[in-house]
A and B are shown apart, each in its own frame.
Chain A
């Protein structure tokens, strides 16, 4: 009976961490310098904006929804940052403006989804077109962001033992993660998100404010999407209208690999970090190898998705966490 002590809600998260450690250990065994703070620090830096976007997507998915507009939001924010830079705005000021825009834009999507009963998939798809379209209207070329603050941001780092370093992007991501964890697990808003994703009708009968929470969830998704755009702009020092095409899929994959059920209600924000890192590690491994080519990333991630989704399905069935199968 001892094995039953493990709370079943932790199982998907535990599986994610085990998979991450296994992949990382495989890398360490296969390549000499894989197990270094340099590689790990770069892993955090290179995947920072995807993981930030994925944290927002985690909330949306926990509530039982989906947000396809994240990639376009990143592209739009990066382009708008560059355009505002050309107007002489300070990057921090434009970041503040754009992150607020992201929150308001997301909130409006949440309001429409709830009030008009539109499927999130199709509404956020339209939003994806709209934001990408706005990118193209602003510019068709890659625009540089010349403000010295951006250069300073991407040069700034905390040295780690060994050769490694923790970049400002990585720190921003970790801060966003910490904020996400607190919001998800220690506020009534977070509790309501889990409740609505678990069983929307029951949540309503239990007195959870559905409309308000839906607006907040998509607003938060938009906020994190825009923040990811800011991180991307700082990281690349430029804005590009085709930036982050398809990142919404990477973000959703990170959430699923992080052990969150796509049907909502079950999962951990911290898992999304590991989900994002699993994708990043596979990419790093393939770059390290040199013989393997990039398509393996997609195939391996697809296979892992399949594995996680079918495994979750059976966990769900056996523990009756979900009363209504989706």
Chain B
């Protein structure tokens, strides 16, 4: 098998309002497994989409064996030997395995597809990965593990030189991961370059020869795996960017006293999050720290009733309550700002004013509409209080920048006056100025006696505003640190601990 070195040089990519990649260099060597690491929004997906022709780049070059190539479509990338398996298996579940494996390259006789030959080709392709299944059945009828292997088989053509795998192990159990790794080692031995994106650090140390860490669109670290101990790696991934670290430490350390507003015992859901306990008092900021995939979002959603728990008990003010839907949580005075603002937070077509009053209106029910004057007042108060940059309250919220959109969601919950506010990645994807404002806001709310649960991938940020920190690893709460002990290094140790 002919092998090649693929280099990406000075790759940049902007989306409206966001710099997704900023001058990134990376080289993939034949016969190596190269782990690409970073939190959500670090730029991993954008990078591999550019590399596989699914996205165009704004600047930079892609070289194969030193020669520049143009990758303007997935087909063009495949033609130069770059194959990819995206995170959500990008195959078609309603088609048979054979049809999936042979789409656009079916064997034909007299212009007509020979399905017998196609099935044979499919079996041969799967055999290379040591998979034997009925290729005539629809792909969707197989387990996710098999679907992943089929996707890898499709990405691996005779002439494939680089194989990109985006989170291939996310839905596999330990045995299936072993099987995949055996296949990867075999491919590596055959001289392929393998790009492996994952959030499982132990798997990185098992299989990767080289590591590149991305953060906020920039390369923040690279080197052979042996030169990067786990603690250092975690530290790189979680960043060191908050400038004003000296003004950390909330003033209200001793304030969080009395009965817990919210207490959670043994809350959990199978395959989602192992049962955990949490307690929140007025004036508490409980930080949820952990790597991508450690269960930060899952914890937040379980507490809010946005995803179903199958065990555990929740008390509000000491009284047992049942939270089976966001509606119930909201009635109990809980609010939730989701991580994925566009998908789960905002109604982009609605105006800033409408987005801001929505949660309060929901609480009042559909009959008691807030009057136009009340709406105006609430919206303009919030726009002023949070410094939302918008020409007026009747602008569709989709036209604001990321930071201002985040403030709109925060405003939505603040006007509904919750006692507990859950924030999932409140500073993701927003510019530095808005970032500092939101951190300051969290501290102010805490000082005013609200209880906050804040999940974040920014370790410095967590350290800056938390009164206590719950550390998560592999969908399990592994430690809780409080008081004067909240130090960045302690958290890194707890996350990285074997």
Contact = CB atoms under 8 A, between A and B. Distances in A.
A and B touch in the complex (CB under 8 A): yes
Contacts of B74: 204-207
A174 interface: no
Interface string A307-326: 00000000000011111000
B94 A205 contact: no
A186 to B, nearest CB: 4
B104 interface: yes
Given A207-B74, A207-B75, A322-B140, A198 B94 contact: yes
A208 B103 contact: yes
Nearest to B136: A7
A203 B154 CA distance: 13
Interface stretch (B84-92, B283-291, B434-442): B84-92
B141 A194 contact: no
A205 B86 contact: yes
Contacts of A192: 103-104
Contact of B93 (A186, A187, A199, A206): A199
A248 B136 CA distance: 33
Contacts, number: 97
Contacts of B73: 207
A203 B100 CA distance: 9
Given A188-B113, A205-B86, A320-B93, A194 B99 contact: yes
Interface string B91-124: 1111110011001101010011101000000000
A9 B95 CA distance: 9
Given A7-B136, A198-B93, A187 B111 contact: yes
B138 A8 contact: yes
A9 B96 contact: yes
A182 interface: yes
Nearest to B102: A191
A194 B95 CA distance: 7
Nearest to B75: A207
Nearest to A261: B94
B111 A206 contact: no
A194 B94 contact: yes
A77 B293 CA distance: 60
Contacts of A182: 112
Nearest to A318: B141
- Main DSSP-derived SS at the A contact region: helix
Contact of A9 (B86, B100, B106, B138): B138
Contacts of B112: 182, 186-187
A188 B155 CA distance: 19
Contacts of A199: 90-94
B140 A203 contact: no
A105 B327 CA distance: 50
Contacts of A191: 95, 99, 103-104, 106, 113
Contacts of B96: 9
A201 B90 contact: yes
A195 interface: yes
A225 interface: no
B99 A321 contact: no
A265 B92 CA distance: 9
Given A187-B113, A207-B74, A198 B141 contact: no
B103 A195 contact: yes
A206 B90 contact: yes
Contacts of B99: 191, 194-195
B248 interface: no
A207 B91 contact: no
Contacts of B138: 7-9, 319, 321
A266 interface: yes
Contacts of A208: 103-104
Nearest to B142: A320
A323 B140 contact: yes
Interface of B: 54, 73-75, 78, 86, 88, 90-96, 99-100, 103-104, 106, 108, 111-113, 115, 136-138, 140-141, 154
Interface of A: 7-9, 182, 185-188, 191-192, 194-195, 197-199, 201-208, 265-266, 319-323
Given A9-B96, A186-B113, 4 more contacts: A9-B138, A188-B104, A199-B93, A203-B103
Pairs A-B, 5 closest by C-beta atoms: A198-B92, A198-B94, A265-B94, A186-B112, A202-B90
